[in-house]
Chains A and B, each alone.
Chain A
């Protein structure tokens, strides 16, 4: 079980080591100590390993992650899990802006709050935030699912495409072309599955959530909708 101490090892050496791992590596459990808010920790990993990070991380932790499970025992800076492809990133604290931005797959779980632009341009990732999220979250969200236990800031789902949004608390306002939608059985099933993946099965009542999605009114330009932009 390798441990890398970022007080002694450079970020470059850490990432280079992780990039060299083969998919069938036996070294499947890694610990990173003293992250001290450093940026770009464990970006671009492509191996089925688990990485425990023992503290707070800076920007872009786990960026473009494939396959790996990255557990952050602290808070994460901007763009945690940006453009991730698969795998898991689990933030035990809070996350800053643009968490899971453009993510294409995998799961991002945030125990605390996420700031503005959570899930911006999401393209297939599943994001579960157990606290609140900031403004402009899921802006231009194309695919994937965003679940929020707490409140959502202004302009939720602005210019939304096909991403699904579930929020339990109040939503400050909806962005252009984002509307509340009926919660049907298939959505309850979807939500239960997501809650299970986030370790909250049976702990949270799905009927407390509301569903938001695209009204699809801005999909093709129509001059009479110009005020919506």
Chain B
């Protein structure tokens, strides 16, 4: 009698999953690495791995709709004559004109101003639309120095020196030819239609000792009025924070690996840098070790989505957060209403990330006039303001539950972790235990 093995279910590989296989085929047929926008797509430990404890027998909550819970924040109190006084601790991150349309930049300015917070320029300079519509505008000082000039520098409310971004610590910028329109080319002083790669290192300083001199130059240029921020991608947050304080920063912007980008190699986005969750405590520790916590303010970013993320980041010691991707979604990025057009681009709402190609159906990451016109800056700005309001209310709700009359009174003791990784990274106990893995050693 012959024995037949019953057929097994066809089994695909966990290691060689569908995405991996498609990427190998894509590389084999094109000969170029994948470039895309957005942030890390795979799961990394994040704020969802933490919960807040709320009040109990030993803590007293605040009444939801009656008792005040402050949300304001002052940025740049260390040296600047004119610190930024924001109504909410949620700022709009730097996103370049070039990667984004002028309408999108204007909408960000409008939304931020309605909410009483700041927005930020990006690689590519300051547009009049953005300056005009932004009550508080932070001007980025990047290695490329595209469009850099003393007039705009003096028009800014703060200056942000970009050392790195969470999506690509150690990487420069890139804007592909399709998006170098006449206006973008003119602002960057480059030929139209070329692929433009911004440098990854600043042209006129190297190392933290030089940076200190550079910061002083910018202060002299602007008569010590403006707060100077330093933005770093999260990789060695303890030492980077120490060096940033030593170099004379007023504010440190710490961007975790989930942070969005306009266009970067996929391999960079997914494999360089550390999750924001793991970066905040070392940075705060450095500030505390230097006696500078709350004197040099810490803004954190990278995957912030809602008021819970805000409350948890603040409880870990940050003074404020910044949002990029979420702000674009609020404006209308990846909206299902463009489903057919996303399908025509071979993708689907929620997954569209070829922002570098400039074909964005939502009119945000494009320089094509017909697409750009789809985004009405007034309506989109209103949407962003609504979203910022909701995030703030959510954060306040959690803070009141923890008995805090200001978001800045949230503390690590209000948090516990749901996973071992998160407990170790956030340096808070695993829920229901006193155990902080790695503490004390």
Contact = CB atoms under 8 A, between A and B. Distances in A.
B189 A124 contact: yes
Contacts of A63: 217, 221
Contacts of B213: 39-40, 58-60, 78
B203 A120 contact: yes
Interface in B174-229: 176-177, 188-191, 193-195, 197, 199, 203-205, 210, 213-214, 216-217, 220-224
B150 A44 contact: yes
A102 B193 CA distance: 21
B interface, over-half SS: loop
Contact of A140 (B176, B199, B214, B222): B199
A137 to B, nearest CB: 11
Contact of A120 (B32, B149, B204, B220): B204
7 contacts: A43-B220, A66-B150, A83-B145, A140-B199, A219-B191, A221-B195, A223-B30
A54 interface: no
Given A121-B145, A223-B31, A60 B191 contact: no
Given A39-B217, A60-B214, A79-B204, 14 more contacts: A39-B213, A40-B213, A40-B220, A40-B221, A58-B213, A79-B205, A82-B203, A83-B148, A98-B203, A117-B204, A120-B203, A123-B145, A219-B194, A223-B30
B144 interface: yes
A12 interface: yes
B220 A83 contact: no
Nearest to A44: B221
B153 interface: yes
Given A101-B203, A142-B189, A220-B194, A16 B145 contact: no
Nearest to A19: B223
B150 A78 contact: no
Given A78-B204, A123-B189, A40 B216 contact: yes
B273 to A, nearest CB: 22
Contacts of A83: 145, 148-150
A2 to B, nearest CB: 19
Interface in A168-217: none
B224 to A, nearest CB: 7
Contact of A60 (B149, B199, B204): B204
B154 to A, nearest CB: 8
Contacts of A16: 223
A149 interface: no
Given A46-B150, A98-B204, A121-B203, A223 B32 contact: yes
A58 B217 CA distance: 11
Interface in A36-59: 39-40, 43-44, 46, 58-59
A60 B32 CA distance: 40
A83 B193 CA distance: 25
Residue with the highest number of chain B CB atoms closer than 10 Å, among A16, A39, A85, A121: A121
A162 B191 contact: yes
B203 A219 contact: no
A4 interface: no
Contacts of B199: 121, 139-140
A104 interface: yes
Contacts of A223: 30-32
In the A-B complex, the 3 residue pairs with the smallest Cβ-Cβ separation, listed nearest first, are: A79-B204, A44-B221, A98-B204
Nearest to A221: B195
A16 B224 CA distance: 10
A15 B189 contact: no
A75 interface: no
Contacts of B221: 40, 43-44, 63-64
Contacts of A143: 189
Contacts of A139: 199, 203
Nearest to B31: A223
Contacts of A123: 145, 189
Contacts of B204: 60, 78-79, 82, 97-98, 101-102, 117, 120
Nearest to A11: B220
Contacts of A121: 144-145, 199, 203
A141 B60 CA distance: 62
Given A43-B217, A46-B150, A121-B203, A220 B189 contact: no
